[in-house]
Amino acid sequence: MSTTNNELVKLSASQMAEKIRNKEVSSRELTQAELDVIDAAEPQLHAFLHVSADEALAQADAFDKKLAAGETEGLPELAGVPIAIKDMIVTKGIPTTAASKILEGWVPPYDATVIEKIKAAGMPILGKTNLDEFAQGSSTEHSAFGNTYNPWDKQRVPGGSGGGSAAAVSSYEAPLALGTDTGGSIRQPASFTGSVGVKPTYGGVSRYGAIAMASSLDQIGPCARTVLDAALLHEVIGGNDRRDSTSIPEPMPHVVDAAREGLKRDLTGVRVGLIKEISGNGEGFQPGVAKRFDEAVKLLESMGATVTEVSLPHLSYSLGAYYIIMPSEVSSNLARYDGMRYGLRVMPPTGVPQTAANMMAYTREAGFGDEVKRRIILGTYALSAGYYDAWYGSAQKVRTLVIEDFAKAFEQVDVLASPTAPTTAFKFGEKTDDPLAMYLGDVTTIPANLAGVPAISVPCGVDDETNMPVGFQFFAPQKRDDVMYKPAAALEAALEETWGGNILTKMATPWLAD
């Protein structure tokens, strides 16, 4: 790859878009440059499950023809910029597997709403990224098709479940990606890889065509290298959709304007609340994470923000409530994978009655991985007769208390803040034998999903001991996603001045070597 292409792929998505508009580079040239990076990086990183090179170049050519003919008026700012898609989101004509053997080889006959919007925006789709099977995991170690590796250190996980999207963005294989966030699956991988990840307000982005894990928690959102890029992508995919009954029937908040306002680094009048229960100083938080978080808080204050500590008293129960509600919904949603209609079908061996029940049992045994089976069993138990009220019903009551805690907190402050994850990226195999330890890593991200509020993770430095990125998380009130973009962009800008550039410049990229 030439030096010119190396420089091109390291541009932010907004810078790429500007070059396309000014006709300094074509969408095809940019897409080909990204595909070249994918060719070089994938043997080392395995961020993608499927690369749709021919389709992406055809989409890029179609956009370039429109641009040449002057037919791009009204298209979003990111028009022509390529993107990667988490393989939990349905794409017409491109395999969609949810990283599970039970859907191996399935090619959907329709597009998710967000994919329709991406295509309408003229954004070429580079391919489908790896994840924990059915988005169930925090490390991308539970994919049926192999691990994704953290671009910072290939002995460490990229986070999960959307480790593939985060790794693709941070390694320059893609300037943008889509992910899904059920309990932190966009934000935690962003923290682990030094990228930006956003969970929009629940209902702010259509879930039509997102393979369901836990329907009351799932949310599609942007993965990017800058806050502005995330806002620009958020604006492309957001908005009401009549095909999604949970979609918010209101206009999108002005997230791009808020991000650009934040780049001015003036936070006068912005009230930031540090969540006492997950402030970074408690048990289980890595010292380096707490240190970088505290430094970032001081930067916010230096830009004029008012910082106070806020208590959300029921937050300590959110992890337990989540790990009852989520597997219960998993158990219900994954019941459709029975070998009858689509996906894998395994018939019972000779000598075993050839019944529908036995076929379903053998199909699910072969098609689902250990983590998926674990959560189905947990959820089925929680929903079973005699336990429904004691477990699932009680968890929903706790969820209501968490929602009320957030509502009360936002009467005092504009945004809430915490570390995105208690630790930096851990090594492969460190937590696979201890699922509870893995689940505890979600303690800082889960509350946003339970409450349906938006949250964003931005890099706030590198841990001195592990030399791995640390994430800083902002929460905003429901339907006020714009409120979190301003301080997030301001913090990013202030930190980049300190670092002398984007945090990813600190990462070695041998796959970009000339």
Q: Which residues are catalytic?
A: 86, 161, 185
Tokens of 151: 């671009």
DSSP string covering 136-202: --SSS---TT----BTTBTTB---SSSHHHHHHHHTTS-SEEEEE-SSSTTHHHHHHHT-EEEEPPT
Angle between helix axes 255-262 and 481-499 (nearest 10 degrees) is 30
- As a whole number of angstroms, the distance between CA 183 and CA 214 comes to 10
421 alpha carbon, distance to own chain's centre: 14
Identify the bridge partners of residue 474 per DSSP, sorted by sequence position: 417, 456
Query: Which of 183, 296, 196 is CA-nearest to residue 255?
Result: 196
* 326: enclosing H helix or E strand: helix 318-333
Cβ-proximal residues to 49 (8 Å cutoff; 6+ apart), any chain: 87, 95, 97, 99, 127, 128, 129, 130, 143, 145, 164
Collapsing DSSP states into helix, strand and coil, what is residue 214?
A: coil
Residues in CB range of 70: below 8 A, 6 or more apart: none
Q: How many helices and strands, by DSSP H and E, does the chain display?
A: 17, 11
Q: How far apart are CA 297 and CA 356, in angstroms?
A: 58
Which residue bears the tokens 């440059």? 33
Distance CA 415, CA 476 (A): 5
Query: What DSSP assignment string belongs to 50-105?
Result: EE-HHHHHHHHHHHHHHHHTT--TT--TTTT--EEEETTB--TTS---TT-GGGTT
Helix (H) or strand (E) holding 417: strand 415-419
The helix (H) or strand (E) run that includes residue 418 is: strand 415-419
The 10 Å CB-count burial string (b at 16+, else e) for 72-109 is: beebbbbbbbbbbbbbbbbbeebbbbbbbbbbbeeebe
Supply 339's token pair: 């070998």
Helix 287-302 crosses helix 481-499 at what angle (to 10 degrees)? 100
Is-contact 174 408, C-beta < 8 A?
A: no
Q: Are strands 415-419 and 271-275 parallel, antiparallel or unpaired?
A: parallel
Sheet of 220-224: strand order equals 48-51, 125-129, 83-86, 176-180, 220-224, 196-199, 455-462, 469-475, 415-419, 271-275, 306-310
